[in-house]
Structure 1
């Protein structure tokens, strides 16, 4: 579990202990984004290398984190938070548009945020996979949040008469799994398509799900 081993006190250099702690944590996370999301990747990064990239000491590292896995866990949550904020902001702006335009806006914003920095993309869809049962549980929990968001939007589309009334949870889980898989493969260079083409295909799949008026 991430967490400080020692609580700092007092002010130094005009900054409070809390401000200094936040700054150190940010520098470690920035270094993790650089090393885990680029070269050499999470599995080939050492605490010493992370500290060097952050310009901080190993003592300071262990005051903020217990293991490198804690850094990866924090980064995974942060990257997902950024993507969720982008998607929700787009949804708020496109709230009055038809369902097809809303879908394009939301998935476009999500994909642009996740792929705008290749390091974020790699942490979300590559480095997090298979690290430990703890991180797998975290990954699945964050995926469930995306499923919940999609189900809420499907319910809104049903109320507007834009989608067939049915339980969308199974379809939403399948769709989000497809999103993750496709973006993972795209990030690895296994999909010969532009990001716009990937987003357009995902939107077509989603609209096909919402337009199915013959639930099984």
Structure 2
């Protein structure tokens, strides 16, 4: 049986997809009239039909290639927060993300290898927002521990309350996805715990607290705050934010004081 003819449409497909034809010594083009012509395969000395490098640097409408990449990434991140935070990670497809981001499907893989990679990127941005808000609100580090904790927690909870999508991504959608996501989640939560412990770590009375105790304090602190935020978000942010922040601040201050005042063995 005669092999089907290869017409110019074949080269148009290769050109459009920016993929060179299969490597070979020659490429045989068979025309419908039965004649064939052998062409040299592309090599280092032949000019390519399509060059990514020659196009990627062009500006369109005053927007550079770098700016286009950054804009598409931003659109996909925003779409990820919207869909993961409303529809849910497991129910969201690449096609839905691209539709929400208003970009072609092929641009997704220009930025991310998978929806899991996008989830991690969205998660990183969400947790960075929380941490930045808490740190900015701390103020004078010489204030009482409870006052510092209250200010930091109130700012932290304010970000959560203002964007329920963030709460869903940070505390719900990342759970049970994969070992890689689980590792990122645990590391970030411990980082939040370290931030809370850092409020008292610089005080003189905390200087001789063993490192293992600091790590346990961080784990305990973030565990209390995280579970409280999960139940608070699930209850449609009831009770009021200031009451939640005050209660958590008292708990953290009391736990910290108990650890600092406990007798050291040895």
TM-score, shorter chain, exceeding 0.5: yes
Q: What is the aligned partner in structure 2 of residue 85 from structure 1?
A: 132
Return 5+ residue gaps in structure 1 as ranges: 1-5
Q: C-alpha distance in 1, partners of 2:196/2:263?
A: 17
Q: C-alpha distance in 2, partners of 1:194/1:131?
A: 31
Change (3 A) 1:203 1:165: farther
Is the counterpart of residue 55 in structure 1 residue 55 in structure 2?
no
Q: What is the aligned partner in structure 2 of residue 22 from structure 1?
A: 70
Is the counterpart of residue 70 in structure 1 residue 128 in structure 2?
no
Which structure is higher in RCO with an 8 Å CA cutoff and minimum separation 6?
Answer: 1
Q: What is the aligned partner in structure 1 of residue 91 from structure 2?
A: 44
Q: What is the aligned partner in structure 1 of residue 16 from structure 2?
A: none
Q: C-alpha distance in 2, partners of 1:174/1:100?
A: 16
Is the counterpart of residue 102 in structure 1 residue 102 in structure 2?
no
Single out whichever of 184-193 and 80-89 deviates more from structure 2: 184-193
Runs of 4+ in 1 over 6 A off after TM superposition: none
The offset of 1:215, in angstroms, is: 4.9
Counterpart contact for 1:94–1:105, Cα < 8 Å: no
Question: Within 5 Å, which residues of 2 pair with 1:50-199?
Answer: 50-91=97-138, 93-156=139-202, 158-159=203-204, 166=209, 167-189=213-235, 193-199=239-245
Larger radius of gyration: 2
Counterpart contact for 1:51–1:61, Cα < 8 Å: yes
The offset of 1:164, in angstroms, is: 9.2
Instruction: Please provide the CA RMSD for this pair.
Output: 2.1
The offset of 1:116, in angstroms, is: 1.5
The offset of 1:113, in angstroms, is: 1.5
Counterpart contact for 2:88–2:173, Cα < 8 Å: yes
Matched length: 206
Q: C-alpha distance in 1, partners of 2:218/2:250?
A: 14
Counterpart contact for 2:94–2:105, Cα < 8 Å: yes
Counterpart contact for 1:79–1:114, Cα < 8 Å: no
The offset of 1:192, in angstroms, is: 5.3
Q: C-alpha distance in 1, partners of 2:182/2:126?
A: 16
Q: C-alpha distance in 2, partners of 1:19/1:110?
A: 31
The offset of 1:13, in angstroms, is: 1.4
The offset of 1:197, in angstroms, is: 2.2
The offset of 1:97, in angstroms, is: 2.5
Q: C-alpha distance in 1, partners of 2:197/2:144?
A: 17
Per-residue CA shift, 1:57-104, capped at 9, x if unaligned? 11111111111111110000001111111111112x233422221111
Q: C-alpha distance in 2, partners of 1:21/1:211?
A: 50
Question: Greater helix percent: which structure?
Answer: 1
